Amino acid sequence: MKLRHILYTAIVLLYCTSCNKWIDVKPTDRLSEDILFEKKEGFLKALNGVYVEMASTSLYGRFMTAGELDAMAQYYFITSSTNSYYDYVMFNYTNANPKFGFDDAWRKAYELNANVNVILEKTGASPSSVLPEPYFGLIRGEALALRAMLNFDMLRIFGPIWNDANKALKTIPYPIAAKSEIFPLLSSEEVMVQIERDLKEALTLLQNSDPILTEGVRNGNNPTGSSDLYYRQYRFNYFAVKALMARAALWKGDKTNALKYAKDIIEDAKIQGKDIFPAVTAGDATSTAKPDRMFSTEVIFSLYTIKRSDLYNAIFAAEQADFNRLSVNAMNDDKARINAMYPNQADYRYRIWESVNAQNKQILTNQKFKDVVDGPGRYMIPLIRLGEIYLIAAEASNDLGEATGLLNTLRRRRNTTDISPSDFSTLKTAITEEFRRELFGEGQLFFYYKRNAFLNIPNNASLVGEKSISLNNYRVPLPESEIKIRGGSQP
């Protein structure tokens, strides 16, 4: 009997906490979540990880901005089927290139979405000793906004055009849990509800914690320590959330709110009367040594990537091989297309075009993303800019005078002349043209066309003029990596 007691004791001993500790092994060559989220710095690192990865080429580092999505917006003259972007321009979504490209973007977006979800799970619902204010509000607020943005952009690509008939169609999931469980496909309407909920919570959190509201963007290093609360232009700040709310409202045709949010930004983005996002100065816009082609001061939200020169080299540089290059002509110096695009060549935006000698010829090159050493916004990839907010407001306004005023404010900032559209239709055309000029290289034009369900868009196969587009082409089929496992085809 005594013996049995010993054995029982031995077994009981095993369940003691020391044994549990013994087998709880943390890796030292990799970072486990338990160690990472022990400190506020870990949260900052994990959140920074999402921003850094967003700048990868499969997302906003190329695909979702200056690359494939702008190609789909027909900015370029592409007729050769060997061009890497040809199938995008022609909306051949089932061909190898777009199939792979969209799959890649989707996977990256949801990989980041999962990262964001873990951060949200770890922050909890209220500040803690590990994560006090303002960090709690900032980290949770930014994470929520990032989740909304990633899903909103996926909806804008893979979802249908918003209208009463389509908004109930099942389209994409909206995964909100950190565990790798499968979320059901939701309708556009349901997705928008989730996006708005996340954005609203983000806005509230940031209202109380975002230093942009008191200190401005502060694009410089903190002289006394870490720069966690600096460089607000490169973070999902309070105004960026509001801007995304405006974008989202207009997407679902809610002009009232779109106008309200947009005007809030235009009017409120000031500290003691000073603009937080001031207009580009004539000096910066026309400087030859360090031109601000990006109008970096006006950017509300952007990504910071030291690899931005890769973007320029990969798709715009005159040295790049023809089949990889995005060009507004047949790889020469023909300016017909841009001259049509910019009626006024004094427009600061026209300055991105330069003729460069390469491959033994003059090649017209888009230099918006060209690396300028020590130039303004050297590492910036703009995602939301004030110009778009003016255009959203103009589009959302029911008052022709107000709309024209908003449009002309933007045009003046760009060193071009006022216009006076006689009716809403002329205004719309003006806004469309302005949008095309203003958001070149930022991936928004395709969504603008899609939101407005345009049946005619610029023609890829001629330097000027338009081509018709089938509304089906605005919707990209869900990637195979999603539906193959889910089973069945797209609903």
Partner 1 sequence: MNKNYVLRVMRITVPLLWTGMLSVSAASYSQQITLKGKRIPFTKVIAAIRQQSGYTVFSTKNISELVPYLTVDAKQMDLSDFLKSITTEQPITYQIEDKIISFTKRRSSEVKATAENIAKDVQQKTVTGTVVNLLSGELMTGVTVRLKGYNISVMTDKNGQFSLSIPGDIQQAVLQFSFIGMKNLEVPLKGNTRINVTLEEQSESIKDVVVTGIYQRKKESFTGSSTTYTNKELKMIGNQNVLQSLKTLDPSFAMIDNNQFGSDPNRLPDLEIRGKSSVIGLTSEFGANPNQPLFILDGFESSLSVIRDFSMDRIESITILKDAAATAIYGSKAANGVIVVETKRPAAGQLRLSYNANTSLNFADLSDYNLMNSAEKLQFEKLSLFYGSLDPNGNIMNEEKELLFNNRMKEVAKGVNTYWPNEPLRTVLSQTHTLFAEGGDANLRYSASLSHGANKGIMKGSSRDVTNGNIRLLYRKGRLSFSNSLSIDHVATNREPVTFSRFVRANPYHRKYNTTGGIDKLMESFQYLDINTFTIKSLNIYNPLYDWNNTNVDKSSSLGFTNNFEIDWRIIDELRFRTRIGLRQLSDHGEVFRSPFNSEFADTEVLRQGYYSENNGKQINYDADVSLTYGKLLKEKHMVNFVGGIRVDQGYNLFSNYQVEGFVDDEFSNPTFGFRFPEGSRPGYREAKRRGASAFLNTGYTYDERYLLDATLRSDGSSVYGADKNFTTIWSVGLAWNLHKEQFIQHTLPWISLFKLRGSIGTPGNQNFNDYISMRIYRYNNDNRNPFGSSVIMNSFGNSGLKWQKTLDRNIGFDLELLHKRLRFNFDYFNKNTDPLLVFIGLPSSTGTSSVAKNIGSQTTKGLTLVTDYAFVQRENFNWHVNLNLRHITSGYHNIGNSLDKFNQDNKSRNLIRYYDNASPSDLWAVRSAGIDPATGREIFLNKNGQQTFLHDFNNEVVVGNSDPKVEGIIGTSFYYKGFSGAINLRYRLGGQEFMQTLYEKVENINIQNIALNQDKRALYDRWQKPGDIAKFRAISQTDVTPISSRFVEDNNILSGESISFGYETMDKKWLKKIGASSLTSRIYMNDIFRISTIKNERGIDYPFARSVSLSLGLRF
Q: Which of residues 310-369 bind partner 1 (CB under 8 A)?
A: none
Contact predicate 133/208, CB 8 Å: yes
Q: Is 81 among the residues that bind partner 1 (CB under 8 A)?
A: no
Tell me how far, at minimum, the Cβ of 207 lies from partner 1, in Å: 22
Q: Which stretch binds partner 1 (CB under 8 A): 100-108, 369-377, 396-404, 458-466?
A: 100-108
Q: Which residues have C-beta within 8 Å of that of residue 273, sequence separation ≥ 6? A: none
Nearer of residues 264 and 310 to partner 1, judged by Cβ: 310
Closest contact distance (angstroms) between CB of 467 and partner 1 is 29
Q: Which of the residues 113 through 172 are near partner 1 (CB under 8 A)?
A: 113-115, 117-118, 172
Give, for 271, the enclosing helix (H) or strand (E).
Answer: strand 270-271
CA distance to 224, 408, 470, per residue, from 221 (Å):
9, 35, 49
| Site mask for partner 1 (CB under 8 A), range 248-287, x = bound | ----------------------------------------
Residue 35 neighbours by CB under 8 Å, 6+ apart: 26, 42
34 counts as binding partner 1 under rule CB under 8 A? yes
Site for partner 1 in 172-191 (CB under 8 A): 172-173, 175, 179-183
Q: Is 402 among the residues that bind partner 1 (CB under 8 A)?
A: no
Cα–Cα distance list, 135 to 7, 142, 149 (Å): 52, 10, 21
To partner 1, the closest distance from the beta carbon of 293 in angstroms equals 21
Residues 440 and 70: beta-carbon distance below 8 Å: yes
Do 416 and 408 form a contact (C-beta atoms < 8 A)?
A: no
**Binding residues for partner 1, total number by CB under 8 A:** 74
Between residues 9 and 163, which has the closer beta carbon with respect to partner 1?
9
Given the complex with partner 1, which of 154 and 410 has the nearer CB atom?
154
Asked if residue 6 binds partner 1 (CB under 8 A), the reply is yes
Distance, in Å, from the CA atom of 235 to the CA atom of 265, rounded to the nearest integer, reads 16
Task: Select from 47-55, 70-78, 137-145, 280-288 the region that touches partner 1 (CB under 8 A).
Answer: 47-55
Residues contacting 454, CB < 8 A, separation 6+: 432, 469
**Shortest spacing between CB 262 and partner 1, in angstroms:** 29
Q: Which is nearer to partner 1, 113 or 327 (CB)?
A: 113
Maximum distance among all Cα pairs of the chain, rounded to whole angstroms: 103
- Which one, of 487, 433, 479, lies nearest residue 458 by Cα? 433
Q: Which residues contact 345 (CB under 8 A, 6 or more apart)?
A: 339
CB of 377 to partner 1, least distance (A): 13
Q: Which of 14, 346, 461, 464 binds partner 1 (CB under 8 A)?
A: 14
The residue written with tokens 């777009």 in the block is: 98
- We find the least distance from the C-beta atom of residue 178 to partner 1, in angstroms, to be 8
Tell me if 94 sits within 8 A of 100, measured CB to CB.
no
CB of residue 314 to partner 1, shortest distance in Å: 15
Distances (CA, A) of 238 to 45, 212, 269, 444: 20, 7, 10, 21
For partner 1, the closer of residues 4 and 274 by Cβ is 4
* Interface with partner 1 (CB under 8 A), residue from 68, 228, 284, 434: 228
Distance CA 301, CA 381 (A): 9
Q: How far is the CB of 345 from partner 1 (least distance, A)?
A: 36
